[in-house]
Amino acid sequence: DRRLGPTVLAAIKNEIGSPFPPLPNMSKNSSTEQKPGFKVVDKKEHKASLRNLLSAREAKCPIHSNPSPAHHRSDTSNRSEIDVKNAIFGSVSKRFTCTCVWKRQLVEPLDGFVLSNVLSKEECEKLRKGVATDGQDYTFWNPEDTNSKHTRNVDTIEVFDESLAAGIWERVKMQVTNNIEIPEENDDWEFGLEGKWEAYGINPKMLFARYPEGGHFSPHTDGHQVIDFNHRSLHSVIIYLNDCSEGGATQLFKPEDYKDKKFIQDKQGRFRFSKEKVADRALPKAGSMLSFSQHHMHEGEPVGSGCSKFIIRTDVMYRRVPAVCDKPNDVEAYQCYQAAMEAEANAEHDKAGHLYTKVGRLSEKLARMLNIWMG
C-alpha cells in the first residue's frame, strides 16, 4: 500500500477532468491476471499524471504520419512554438516549444506502429525519479526460480494511475488502431471475439519495468487484460522512458517465422530467436511509444554494456460495438466462465466443470459464443 513517487505526487485535484468515459472497474478484485512478484498499488493513484509532470510549457504537438525513410530511426529536429487550447487539462497553455510527433507503421504483416515524442524527456525523467524515490525498489518477477533470468531479467512495479492513462490517451487516440474486426478465418480469431471492437482508452494498470545491463525478455506474446465480455485489451503499449545507446530494442517477428517456436540460447544462456527472424524493431528512445497486436510475438533485446532501460508497459483498451450478452445474467455467466478458466489452470477440474455448466444455465447465448454450450 505504499505510495509511489513523492516527487510526482503533488496533484492539483480540482483541475482534473475526464477526457474520455471512465474505464470499467479494474481494481484488484477484477478478473485480470496478476503476475507473480509484481507490487500492486490498488487504487492508490500514482498521480504521475501529465498535468502534474509538466511545466506550463507543455501542450499537445502536431502529429505526422508515415515519415520519410530519413525519419525512420532518428529524431526530427523540427521545433515550433504554438498556442493551443489544452484539451487534457482544460486551460489555455502558455507559449511552449515542442518536438513534432512522428508515426511509423510496422512492416507488413505486423499490425502496429511507433510514435516518437509522446512524452518529453523531462516527463520521462520525472516518471523515472517518481518511481525510484518512493522508498521501495523494483522487484524481480520470479525470485524463487534461479533459472527464470534465462527467460526474463527485469525488475517491475505495477501502478494504477487513471490520470496518466487519460493524458497519454489524449495524445495518441487519433493514432491508435481505432477499429478492429477479426474475421473467423483469421489465425488471430478466437471464440468470444465476434463483432467490431472500438478503442476507448489506455489501461490505467501500468507496469513500470527496469532492465539492467544484460536484461532481456525472451520471445513471448502478451496476455489480454479482460474486464468483461465487452471490454478488453487487444493491442499492447510500450513507452520508453530513457535512451538506450546499445541494445534494448523491442524486436517483433512475423507469424510464419515463430510458429515452430525453436529457441536458441546465447552465450549467457538467454533464450532467443535467431536474428534472421526479426521482422521489425523499435529502438528505446525516451518518450517514444510502440503499439502492436497482442497476438504478435516479440522480445526485449538484451540491454548493452553500461546501459539500462526503463519502460512503461500497458494496453490499448477496446469495447465491443454494439455490446452483446450484457444483461445481468450474462454478466454473471461470464464471471463464472472466468472463474472456470482460472480453476482449470490450477488443475481444479471438478470445480471448473461445475462452473462451465453454470455458464450455460445462466446464459445459453454466451455459452454458445464461447463454444462451451453442452445442450
Q: Residue 133: its pLDDT value, please? A: 54
* Per-residue pLDDT tens digits for 220-238: 888 889 999 999 999 999 9
Alpha helices by DSSP H, the chain? 50-53, 121-132, 162-172, 255-258, 328-345, 349-362, 364-369
Q: Which fold has domain 6-68+77-321?
A: Jelly Rolls (2.60.120)
Query: Residues 58, 21, 205, 304: is their CA dihedral positive or negative?
Result: negative
Are the C-beta atoms of residues 276 and 223 closer than 8 Å to each other? no
Give the β-pairing of 96-99 and 79-82: antiparallel
Q: How confident is the model at residue 149 (pLDDT cuts 50, 70, 90)?
A: low
Using left for φ > 0, alpha for ψ between -120 and 50, and beta otherwise, residue 101 falls in: beta
Cell of 277: 527472424
Q: Residue 139: its pLDDT value, please? A: 54
In this structure, of 62-71, 215-224, 253-262, 267-276, the range with the lowest mean pLDDT score is 62-71
Q: Residue 193: its pLDDT value, please? A: 93
Q: Residue 339: its pLDDT value, please? A: 97
Residue intervals of the chain classified under CATH 2.60.120.620 are: 6-68+77-321
In three-state secondary structure terms, 32 is coil
In three-state secondary structure terms, 290 is strand
* Per-residue pLDDT tens digits for 121-144: 999 999 988 776 554 555 554 445
- What does each C-alpha distance from 248 to 103, 194, 221, 242, 270 come to in angstroms? 20, 36, 17, 11, 14
- Chain position carrying cell 525472451: 218
CA atoms within 13 A on the CB side of 69: 1
Q: Residue 205: its pLDDT value, please? A: 95
Is the model more confident about 300 or about 42?
300
% of residues, the chain, pLDDT over 70: 67
